Amino acid sequence: MAIEREHRAPLSPHYAFVVQWATDTQIAEGRIHGRVEHVVSRHATFFASLDELLAFMARILREVAAPEHGAQAEAERLTAPDNKQNL
């Protein structure tokens, strides 16, 4: 099922990765390995399985999301009706 263009979430470079596959990678057979790099932080690692690739991406995305969630929570706290009187 295709997502309509107007319903897609924005694409942030903070959520972008470059995956470089080794020349003997055979995705259909489940034999993958290569290198992955997070575009913004430039953190990179080599991987020898899909699990390793996804684990690296998940770790980086948790690190990226943590400051965003913290900033969002702080903004919500400051704009909550109970806190407006304290500003």
- For the record, the structure tokens of 51 come out as 């699990």
pLDDT at 8: 80
* The pLDDT value given to residue 68: 58
Domain boundaries, the chain: 12-80
Tell me the mean pLDDT per 10 residues along the chain, length 87: 68 94 96 96 96 97 73 50 54
> Is residue 40 within 8 Å of 14, Cβ to Cβ?
yes
